[in-house]
A and B are shown apart, each in its own frame.
Chain A
Amino acid sequence: MDVLLAGLISGSTYALIALGVSLIYGVSNIVNFAHGATFAVGAMLGWFFASSLGLPLWLVVILVIISTGLLGLVIHFVALRPLGNAPPIAALLATFAVGIILDNGSLRIFGAETRRFPTLLERSNFELFGFRFGTLGLVIIGVAVVCVVALALFVGRTRYGRAIRATSQDRDAAKQMGIPVERVQALSFVIASALGGVAGVLVGMYYSNVSPSIGFMAGVQGFAAATLGGLGSLVGAVVGGVLLGVAEAFGVAYFGDSARQLITFGVLLLVLWIRPGGLLGRVPAVTAEPLTGTFFGSGKPLRISPWMTAVLAVAGVGLAFVTTDYVLRVAALVCIYATFALSMTVIGGFAGQIVLGQAGALAIGAYTSALLMTKADWPFWPSFLAAGFVAAVISTILVAPTWRLRGHYVSMATLATGAFIAALALNLPWLTNGARGVFGIPRPDLFGFEISSAPHMYLLTFVVFVLAALLVARLGGSRLGRIWAAVREDEVAAASSGIQATAYKSLAFGIGSAIAGFAGALYASQLTYIEPAQFGISLSVLAVTIVVLGGMRAPIGAFIGAAVLVAIPEVFRQFADWRLLFYGVLLLLLILFRPQGLWSRFAVVDRIIPKLRRKERSAS
């Protein structure tokens, strides 16, 4: 009974988070990946108001509602409004970037340590019908219920509520009828973010401690709950939140606290596999527009001639003989990350699937190779091959059921898969040593020679990158590249031309994951130790940022992106804490101003030419 009550309490906070996710999805048709971060900001602000300023609970809640509501408005105006009619994938990545910025901004402001959330209530317990109630639990459930009822009344009874419902049913029709759709969308962001902030305060009170890093998990819990109930359905969000809360409470009661993450990710994945529309929703039968389309399209990657490739390769090899060990160690990391990012080139750039959990594949590769070498005494190269193979197989199986779906669902499923794999690495200590990690991973060898010096390691990673890049370039230019392009740009048209889209998406993902697995093996051998914390969401963020920066459609883009994003932070070592914040800001700026990345023709030319042609045509 106590377990059920605990489940209801956390479930009611999940419901609040999920409501925000669903509300925004309904009105704007995007999954707000910054929602978890908004929640965390709410929690930190709540802590600040309550403990530093010593304000009473009711004032704390009101202030948090106001400030997170404003934050929602800012997110809408900074990240979404400018993207206007850009494909939803741009908005998805923009909210993702905002989430990173918020998480790490609040980390810099409030510090990384966990703060004690002050007791704002007299805690007393009483019994009723065999339940033991605490005032705290009652207040949390009470506040959640009040919020849900208020939202229900607002959406159901007011003029603006009607506008919200109309917009979520059919945006274009709503616009035609004179509904200020953009204002409705802004409003939905304000409401959703305020709900997220309130949830942050409630969770802070419940667990009596908060830290800026709680946002990611809360965000995934929100997605899981919203998807379970049916994305876009407000009733579904409440049902999903409560169900997820209860399921987690029972899971934690039976298997311990570490099961919590596995349950959340597991629920999200299972729903996406079995019933992606959720309990009360449905995946729309006809999707009007393909998700990526012209977003990355406006930039054609520049072509590199074979002899340019040769010159670059020779220059890359030559670097090993002219510079210091320190530079070469950084350069080796650049090559490893570039190889890792090549997986995004295949999956995102070619096949158009925006995956947000590639750190998972890298982790599987790193662990496979590290464990085979340290525990089974395999030599490097067989372990290296096994790393790519195992990474591809496990990732492909985990994500396979998702390929029937498109866009956000793929992004959410891969986000969950990546986090799921990191959670597994932590929760399978007999295999992975758990949080302690794997130490003393041997260096590679080649024909009996150990490769351990900095120049040698650099050369090895460089050669692996070049081979992988050539493979990727070859794939992109082949028949498969054409098939992927068709799937990327218009899945329906591709299918009607006889292309089995799911299979080719899965193939791209498998190939990409194998490449990430190879990169993982190199990563393990370069660092000589690995632990689960290295493979968190920030590594997946890095992969996305690298290819968005460098250009998604050409392998060289991965290298350019990696060089900028890995080498520059090395130069500014003393600002290491700011690195993720920098990535987030960079990602957001790129999406807003140069989505096609550095390595592509300037978009201006591409935009002007068709316009001129059109003018010519209309003039004639």
Chain B
Amino acid sequence: MSEPLLSVQGLHKSFGGLHVVDDVSFDIAPGEVVSVIGPNGSGKTTTLNLISGVLKAERGSVILDGHELVGKKANQIARAGLSRTFQNGRVIGNLTVRENVLVGLEATTRAGRPLAKLRGIPVLQWLSLLAEAAIAVTGSPALRRQALDDQARVDRELARFGERLTPRADDYSFTLSYANRRRTEIARALVSEPRILVLDEPTAGMNPVETGEVLDQLLALKAAGQTMLLVEHKLDLVMTLSDRIVVLDDGHVIAEGIPSEIRDDERVIEAYLGRRGVAKSAGEATA
């Protein structure tokens, strides 16, 4: 394997004595799609939360392209090029679809944010903040150019989902169907062209047709070389999409390998399904 893009080493988190994530390690190479699967409560979402900085890891390290992410805040991690979606879909209800996706661009935007290096430094960051507020009020040529460019990027991102989002671009996202909210969220995560896209159950609550659509879109992304880390219950989708699969149980990694290995791994079948011999029908059962 080439030099990993993301390297997770010995990640650990406990909630009051309960070790939810216990010594989890895995690597993701550039362009690779890695899925994390496991029974409910096995620590999948917590692992994603630790990697993306939503929760603080107690031990371990997460290296993204040579930079340590543990100890950084979620917004810094997003700026480092890791963007994510959430298990239950967290769109911003009172913004339109377009505005939601524009929010995703905050991870990379530079125009209208002068002195950005001062951010995060107490007191001094106010120079940058106040300048940003002033530019937001007065407007600037750079900001206008950026705004046009941003709109074009948003349109491209929405077009990825065919006719699902584009006609609704100016609807408030609280009026959207559940599936469309998930799509909006994926668009928001993708618009900043992240180095790695982290998806927490992107097809949860979607019917088989919608799931198939998302699978096609994710396959297209993969073909375009997008690195992805994915938590998902629908094993069909996982098996089709993933280059490698990491299986968690009880906070531990119990298996890791290419889909065909995982499909036949005794421990995985045991942990994931509780009994043997039903692996083949697992996809349909959980879909």
Contacts and interface: CB of A to CB of B under 8 A. Distances in A.
Contact of B74 (A482, A486, A495): A495
Interface string A485-507: 11011101111111111011011
B57 to A, nearest CB: 12
A500 B133 contact: no
B132 interface: yes
Given A474-B137, A475-B137, A498 B78 contact: yes
Interface in B111-128: 112, 119-120, 125-126
A490 B137 CA distance: 24
Given A480-B133, A495-B78, A613-B177, A297 B103 contact: no
Interface in A527-574: none
B94 A497 contact: no
B177 A497 contact: no
B174 A499 contact: no
Contacts of B95: 482, 485-486, 489
A323 to B, nearest CB: 33
B112 A479 contact: yes
Interface in A178-237: none
B54 interface: yes
B97 to A, nearest CB: 13
Contacts of A488: 94
A293 interface: yes
Given A480-B136, A503-B119, A497 B104 contact: yes
A16 to B, nearest CB: 29
A511 B133 CA distance: 9
Contacts of B56: 285
A451 B193 CA distance: 57
A297 B78 CA distance: 27
Nearest to A485: B95
B175 interface: yes
B136 A475 contact: yes
A474 B134 CA distance: 11
Contacts of A492: 54, 74, 86, 90
A436 interface: no
A332 B172 CA distance: 38
A294 interface: yes
Interface residues on B, range: 35 or more
B78 A497 contact: yes
Contacts of B78: 495-498
Given A485-B92, A493-B86, A500 B120 contact: yes
Nearest to A501: B75
Contacts of A53: none
A479 B136 contact: yes
Contacts of B49: 286
A610 interface: yes
A374 interface: no
A483 B175 contact: no
Question: Which of B106, B108, B175 has the largest count of A CB atoms less than 10 A from its CB?
Answer: B106
B132 A480 contact: yes
B93 A483 contact: no
A482 B175 contact: no
Question: Which of A482, A490, A498, A504 has the largest count of B CB atoms less than 10 A from its CB?
Answer: A498
Given A485-B94, A497-B75, A504-B129, 15 more contacts: A297-B93, A474-B137, A479-B112, A480-B136, A482-B102, A488-B94, A492-B86, A493-B90, A494-B92, A498-B78, A500-B120, A501-B75, A503-B129, A507-B132, A613-B175
18 contacts: A285-B15, A293-B93, A478-B137, A483-B106, A485-B99, A486-B95, A494-B103, A495-B78, A496-B52, A496-B83, A497-B106, A498-B78, A498-B79, A499-B106, A501-B75, A503-B120, A503-B129, A506-B129
